Structure 1
Amino acid sequence: MIVDDSEFNRAILKEILEETYEIIEADGGNEALHKIDEYGMKISLVLLDIIMPEKDGFEVLKYMEEERLISDIPVIIISSEDSANYIRRAYEMGVSDYINRPFDANIVYQRVSNTVKLYAKQRRLMAMVTRV
């Protein structure tokens, strides 16, 4: 899922990823929360902008934390805000990675791919442990 209030940014990210992944888009925090409720664990990863009107990325992270989704659905922050405080706060709230804007398409693709694969392996391991 791509969450960004900029249609332009969503379009770029979608173009980078749509050949490999099914894309869900949200144009802000409120829509992101609705999509998270609707799709739940069917979401493999969230690319989340931090600075958005209404509900910002931190509010989305807080909701995911409260609903205990942050450990099951990886989140990668994408933002032009490179303040150490923003980045530290995001990591403390459970994000998996941070990509600074403007971004390189290959780096975005690799980080998304690596994170999705890692969490898929984690889910398989948890399923195996649960069965035992």
Structure 2
Amino acid sequence: MGLLKDIWDIGHDLLGLSGDLKKGKQEQKDRLADLFINIANVLTDTYSKLMQNIYPGGNCVQLDVFSQELYDKMKPITGEVKAKALSDKLASSHKVEMLFGQLSSGEIDKKELLQLEEAAGFFKATAAMLKV
């Protein structure tokens, strides 16, 4: 359950930083909001596939790429320390494809996957807050 909790924490932490993120220029906020939507879409796709017992191939790579993008887009707004902390956490949590094996082996059950949907919701809410 550690991976699911880490992903949930990242989304929750970003929502908590929305006040800081709103201080950026509109162009920066728009790019960051688009990134958050992309991350949310990967998490939602992962959740959907896992609920149908389908391997979420390619989703690890996407989250890994997005972790670097998160750093690049957050750094000008929040500074290097916060940007690096969150991007590093996302990078270390990008292996969502492992959840398929954990689910298949019974290490986790499907109800625990709801944390992916909740995390996606945090990313979407943060994106929406940056757009207004």
Q: Same fold (TM over 0.5)?
A: no
Higher relative contact order (CA 8 A, sep 6+): 2
More strand as a share of residues: 1
More helix as a share of residues: 2
User: TM-score normalized by structure 2?
Assistant: 0.31
User: TM-score normalized by structure 1?
Assistant: 0.31
